[in-house]
Amino acid sequence: MNEQKKFPSSVDVARRAGVSQSAVSRTFAPNGSVSEKTRAKVLAAAEELGYRPSVIPRIMLTHRSFLVAIAIGGMYNPFNSSVLETFARKLQAIGYQVMLVQVEHGESLESVMPRLAGYRVDAIFVARGVLDDQSAAALAEFRIPIVAFHTPLRNEWVSSVCWDNLDAGRQIAELFHKRGLRQGAFIGGPPQVTSGMERWRGFRIRLLELGHPEPVMLHAPFTYEGGVEATERLLSRPLHVDAVFCSNDLAAIGCMDTLRERGLNIPEDVMVAGFDDIPEASWKGNDLTTFGQSDVSLVDASLAILSDVVEAMQHFSGIIVTVPVRLIERGSTAPRHGGRH
């Protein structure tokens, strides 16, 4: 019968080093006080035995696991992949370990919360919105600080970090106006996604203020295929559109490819802009005008909230932080010298 593998304990290290168990504990504690001679003996014994200190005693003493969950989905989108990588790198740099939770669009975060609570995570970052008060209230019952992207609400335990989506819509409307727009259109995500709807509101209101006709609004998934399908619907209309603002870059790239397949030139016939500044947006074949992060990113703002949670210990009050966006002009909205109007 195979014996279960026994890992060396701090007692084993203490015996091998000829010191007390408390000396071993102090050696591996972040602020432990121990002489250099004792430290050297403990570390040598630990290396010889293959000992690695357990984090469980620290969890029991501090009531903190230094474990943070990241709930994210849509990994087909390079923006989400970048968010996950940045979160993991920056959290590990400040002493946290990361637990990845795959939550696809339409799946409820509440369904995975009991499992996360069982791991006693210190906080949860949700790279999508918590869409209604009922969901936010259900999440708050677990008494774990939650920071979500683009959530139009907050409560004692739920905070949100948002792009300034209204301003992005206004900025692109002004750029299209400056470039001679006649009829604008917006390709957004699902109507329940507040970030896309805020971009639409800023875009629509500013175009109307500038004297332009009501822009066309189309809903589509936040995917390349969604951009293709929405653009095909747009081109089937008798109304000629010469500027399209897409709620994300993947849809914008799908839009541009479809326009070119129909024999239209960008930007001479139709200007196109996206959102997120994924790497593909800057590729020569796309050269897409888009919005990217300013000096403070969504991840940086989220980590600042985590720092506040640590300072506050058990007292936490959710907040909403709005992060500025930066317009990145590229060839898809360059000044035009004609076109099929």
In this predicted model, what pLDDT tens digit does every residue of 4-15 receive, in sequence order? 556 787 788 889
The pLDDT of residue 234 is 97
Beta strands (DSSP E) in the chain are 67-72, 97-102, 123-126, 146-149, 158-163, 184-188, 216-219, 243-246, 271-273, 290-293, 320-323, 325-328
Mean residue pLDDT across the chain: 86
Share of residues in the chain with pLDDT > 90 (%)? 42
pLDDT greater than 50 at residue 55: yes
CA pair distance 305, 218, nearest whole angstrom: 35
The pLDDT of residue 63 is 55
pLDDT greater than 80 at residue 101: yes
Q: Which of 70-79, 212-221, 281-290, 325-334 has the lowest mean pLDDT?
A: 70-79
Most confident of 6-15, 106-115, 316-325: 316-325
The pLDDT of residue 297 is 87
pLDDT-derived band of residue 151, with 50, 70 and 90 as boundaries? confident
User: Would you state the structure tokens that stand for residue 6, as one six-digit string?
Assistant: 């026994």
The pLDDT of residue 106 is 53
The pLDDT of residue 60 is 47
pLDDT-derived band of residue 23, with 50, 70 and 90 as boundaries? confident
pLDDT greater than 50 at residue 85: yes
The pLDDT of residue 341 is 44
SS3 state at 68: strand
The pLDDT of residue 314 is 55
Amino acid, single-letter form, for residue 81: S
Average pLDDT of span 67-79: 85
Residue reference for tokens 């019968």: 1
290-293 vs 325-328, strand pairing mode: antiparallel
The pLDDT of residue 48 is 87
pLDDT-derived band of residue 1, with 50, 70 and 90 as boundaries? very low
Q: What angle do CA 106, 110, 114 make, to 5 degrees?
A: 140
Q: Name the more confident of 183 and 30.
A: 183
Q: Name the more confident of 248 and 190.
A: 248
Average pLDDT of span 180-207: 94
Q: Name the more confident of 228 and 54.
A: 228
How many angstroms from the chain centroid is the CA of residue 279?
16
Select from 19, 36, 48, 83 the least CA-distant residue to 276: 83
The pLDDT of residue 326 is 95
Share of residues in the chain with pLDDT > 70 (%)? 87
Average pLDDT of span 78-104: 87
pLDDT greater than 70 at residue 31: no
